[in-house]
A and B are shown apart, each in its own frame.
Chain A
Amino acid sequence: MPALIEREQLSWPTVVKRNLVNLERVVQLVLLVALIVTWEVVGRNVGTFFLAPPSSLWSAFLEMLSTGALVAALLDSLSSLLAGFAIAAVFGISVGFMMGWYRPVGRTLNPFVSAAYVIPIAALVPVFIIWFGLGFEARTITVVLFCVFEILISTATGVQNVDTKLTEAARAFGANRWQLFTRVVSFASMPYIFAGLRMGISRAVKGMVIAELLFAVTGLGGLISSAANYYRTDQVFVGVITIALLGVALSGLVQVAERALLPWRPASSS
Chain B
Amino acid sequence: MIIKEQLIADAVTKISVQSGPEVRVSGLRKTYERTTGREVVRTHALVDVHLTIEREEFVSVIGPSGCGKTTVLKVIAGLLEPTGGTVEVAGQAVKGPGTDRGVVFQQPSLMPWKSVRDNVLLALEFAKIPRAERSRRADKYLALVELKGFEGHFPGELSGGMQQRVGLARALALEPRVLLMDEPFGALDAITRQQMQIELIRIWNQEKKAVLFVTHSIEEALLMSDRIVVMANGGVAHVVEVPLSRPRTSEALLNDPVARQLRTHLESLL
Contact = CB atoms under 8 A, between A and B. Distances in A.
Contacts, number: 71
B174 interface: yes
Interface stretch (B82-90, B106-114, B210-218, B224-232): B106-114
B122 interface: yes
Given A165-B109, A264-B156, A171 B79 contact: yes
Contacts of A264: 112-114, 154-156
A169 B109 contact: yes
A172 B154 contact: no
Mostly, the A contact residues are helix
Given A1-B162, A172-B79, A264-B112, A165 B126 contact: no
Interface string B154-173: 11100101100000001000
A262 interface: yes
Contact of B126 (A1, A2, A179, A188): A179
A262 B128 CA distance: 27
Nearest to B98: A174
A174 B122 contact: no
Interface string A143-154: 000000000000
B105 A168 contact: yes
Interface in A132-171: 165-166, 168-171
Given A172-B97, A266-B156, A184 B111 contact: yes
Interface residues of A, number: 24
Interface string A44-80: 0000000000000000000000000000000000000
Given A168-B79, A168-B105, A264-B154, A187 B123 contact: no
Given A264-B154, A266-B156, A170 B79 contact: no
B107 A187 contact: no
Contacts of B109: 165-166, 168-169
B258 interface: no
Nearest to B112: A264
Interface of B: 77-79, 97-99, 101, 103, 105, 107, 109-114, 122-128, 146, 149, 154-156, 159, 161-162, 170, 174
26 contacts: A1-B146, A1-B162, A165-B107, A165-B109, A168-B79, A168-B105, A169-B105, A170-B111, A170-B126, A171-B79, A172-B77, A172-B78, A173-B122, A173-B123, A173-B124, A174-B98, A174-B127, A175-B126, A183-B125, A183-B126, A188-B111, A262-B113, A263-B154, A264-B113, A264-B154, A264-B155
Interface of A: 1-2, 5, 165-166, 168-175, 179, 183-184, 187-188, 190, 262-266
